Structures are given as C-alpha cells and as structure tokens.
Amino acid sequence: MFRSQKKSQSQKTPTNNQSLQRDFSVASIRAVNEGENNRAFELSFSSEEPCQMWFGPEILDHDPSAVDLSRMESMGVVLFNHDRNKVIGKVTRVWIDGHRGKATIEFDSDDESETVRSKVASGTLKGVSVGYRVTNYESVKEGAKSLDGRFTGPCYIAKKWMPFEISIVSVPADATVGVGRDLHENGFPPPGEDDRPALSYFEGCVTANKNH
C-alpha cells in the first residue's frame, strides 16, 4: 500500500479519483429572471484555463467526451464554501458551452440559503468554485503538444473528469492556484489519508504523451 511511502518533490504524479477543487473567476453570475426574490441564477463553473496544482499545471479538457456531467445532472448540489453541511441549493441544468462548464442553479428557501442568495443577487458574493474528480490524465512534456494539438506542455490534461458540486465561495483563492480538498499547505496529502494504491497504479492511469 501507498501508506508506507512518503511523497517527495520528485514524485509529482496526479492521483486519480482524488477530490479536487478549483475556483473560477466569474463576474457574471446572473439572475435568470428579473425580480427581487428570483432564486435561479446562471453561472460558469469551469474552463480550460491552466491551474497550478501540487503536481503541476492542470487543464480540464472540455470536449464533451472528456466531461462526465451525469452526477451533476442527477444530484448536483450547490454548497457554500465547499462545506457539505451547508447545502444552499441545487443544479437544475448543466452543459458545456465554448469550452466552459455552465449551469443554472436554484437556491433553497431556508434562512441560510436565502442569506447567500441575497448576497449573490446584490453582487456581494461573486466567487464560484467546482468540486471534481479526474480518472484519466494526459501528461504533456515541456514544449510538446497534446495529442489533439490543442495544448502545449508542460501540463497534465484531465481527459476524463467529473464535476460533482458547485460552491459559492466568499473568498476565492488566487485564480492561478489550484486547491486540492485533501491536501496540506505544503501541497501533499496529509498524514493518515494515504489509503491509496501505489504510485505505479496512478502512473499507469496517466496517458503518456509520446510527442517530443
């Protein structure tokens, strides 16, 4: 088991199926309908902008074949600051448009949800973040092109990934810095959370880019 191993700076390999999150710089969370009590809003929650993760620059491929929207469509929820105990709404529609993930959300009517809704409506809260899992990466070496020719390395491209929640966040992180939900401040998994397969397994899940 991976528990007995200790990550070093030379073992920068993305771990598939780990819960991750990244902020999306959005200034256009807009109400679907006019009216002071409107509960439905449209927003963007992801893009193909590179994000610096602990293992290197990560790009979320937004080709329809790369993004699995099934969980968001069936049970997508809206959280406040990624707190699973603070469900403030639901995702009513989700789609990919122009290499961006977009969604229509509807806030719940309880007091806590209403507080967040009113701050979004007034423009006080503008931060959006997405929680997701990646099951397959393409590794692109420095100066090389991705297999589809769209991206230049060095980077890891999420070729199979699933968003599972959208959060309204009060203080977004630096838009250029990715945040791993299960990571320490030093960028590596915290002690006691290494019940994961050995590095060789994860390396086997990364599609090696043979372009030089």
pLDDT of residue 112: 95
73-132 pLDDT tens trace:
999 999 999 999 999 999 999 999 989 999 999 999 999 999 999 999 988 888 899 999
What is the pLDDT averaged over residues 172-178? 46
Whether 211 maps to a domain, the answer reads no
Whether 85 maps to a domain, the answer reads yes
CA–CA gap between residue 92 and residue 102 (Å, rounded): 11
Whether 8 maps to a domain, the answer reads no
Report residue 33's pLDDT band, with 50, 70 and 90 as the boundaries. Answer: confident
Domains held by the chain: number: 1
pLDDT of residue 28: 66
Residue indicated by tokens 């020719």: 149
* Domain span at 192: 16-31+38-205
Per cent of the chain over pLDDT 90 is 50
Which residues touch 147 (CB under 8 Å, ≥6 apart)? 138, 207, 209, 211
Whether 65 maps to a domain, the answer reads yes
CA–CA gap between residue 166 and residue 90 (Å, rounded): 9
Q: What is the pTM of this model?
A: 0.74
pLDDT of residue 126: 86
What is the pLDDT averaged over residues 186-198? 38
Whether 52 maps to a domain, the answer reads yes
Report residue 187's pLDDT band, with 50, 70 and 90 as the boundaries. Answer: very low
Greatest C-alpha distance within the chain:
57
Whether 9 maps to a domain, the answer reads no
Whether 148 maps to a domain, the answer reads yes
pLDDT of residue 133: 93
Whether 212 maps to a domain, the answer reads no
pLDDT of residue 186: 36
